[in-house]
Amino acid sequence: MEGTYIKRRNRPLQVYAVLFLIVLYVPVLFIPLFSFNDSLYVRFPMQGMTLKWYHELWLREPLWNAMWNSVRVGAAVSVISTILGMVAARAITRYRMPGRSALVTFIMMPLVIPGIIFGVALLVLMSRMGVPLSLYTVGLGHLIVCMPFAVATLLPRFEGFDPSMEEASADLGENGWWTFWRVTFPMVFPGVVASLLLSFTISFDEFIMAFFLTGTDPTLPMYIWGQLRFPKEFPSVLALSALILLVSFVLVFIAQWVGRKGLENEN
């Protein structure tokens, strides 16, 4: 009876979860579907199946330049945000500091504040300081967006870390630097990998900050935005978007898998 009661009580939640996933992902699945459409226009029924839109992507030098810009910015942002995230997560979990909850809330603020506000604010700040817009300003904007995700990914790793391991290392004569690299870092390494992959994915796909802070070197989302002005380029944009969706899904899946695997091994 008790098992039947629990099952019936959870059924509405299960139905809600299924409906939520359908509403969230079904529209996105139309992107890779129509990327194989033989027609310039998105419509049912499809005119035929083709791979020519994917073939065209390999022949566009501006596309590869924009992708390389996104890779460079994403790699730099992921490394910097992960390093800063490690420092913040270690300080938050290791030391009893006044206002710790307020500090965590402040770090997580970019998750709830619209990105357009940060974009406009940074644009005004850069213009007032006379800083030219470039990939560096884009990276600064992406760093603000990625930092909360890095901290949120690394906090569980440091919270589950046993401080006695570091104390034992110190008792054996290691200084703080070598204790971190030989004891702390290997223990939190799965979280570091997850943070790197997640931060890179977020930076690679981020558009709002790039829209306000891009100079003469566009990132890949900005390139896609520019191509949407030309109807004949729309099928190629769908093909490119399908590839980005696939790569983003794989990276996020690996990041989540590495993070969960590390916590399971620790437990």
Tokens representing residue 113 in the block: 């504040």
Q: Which segment of 152-161, 197-206, 250-259 scores lowest on mean pLDDT?
A: 250-259
pLDDT score, position 1: 44
- The string over 126-142, giving b where at least 16 C-beta atoms fall within 10 Å of a residue's C-beta and e elsewhere, is beeeeeebebebbbbbb
Q: At what angle do helices 135-159 and 115-129 cross, to 10 degrees?
A: 130
Name all domains of the chain by residue range, CATH numbers in brackets: 63-266 (1.10.3720.10)
* Averaged pLDDT score across all residues of the chain: 79
pLDDT score, position 100: 72
Tokens representing residue 183 in the block: 């004891």
114 pLDDT above the threshold of 80: yes
Rounded Cα distance between 33 and 35, Å, is 5
Of residues 114 and 143, more confidence is placed in: 143
Q: Which segment of 70-84, 108-122, 198-212, 238-252 scores lowest on mean pLDDT?
A: 238-252
Q: What are 8-65's pLDDT values in tens digits?
A: 556 777 787 788 878 777 777 777 777 777 766 666 666 777 777 777 777 778 888 8
Rounded Cα distance between 122 and 196, Å, is 24
In angstroms, the Cα distances linking 136 to 31, 62, 200, 201, 251 are 31, 19, 15, 18, 24
Strand-pair partners of 49: 37
The pTM of the full predicted model, rounded to 2 decimals, is: 0.76
Tokens representing residue 240 in the block: 């490119």
Q: Which residue in 103, 197, 118 sits closest to 150, CA to CA?
A: 197
Tokens representing residue 43 in the block: 């419509």
Rounded Cα distance between 63 and 24, Å, is 28
76 pLDDT above the threshold of 80: yes
Neighbour tally for 119: CB within 10 Å: 20
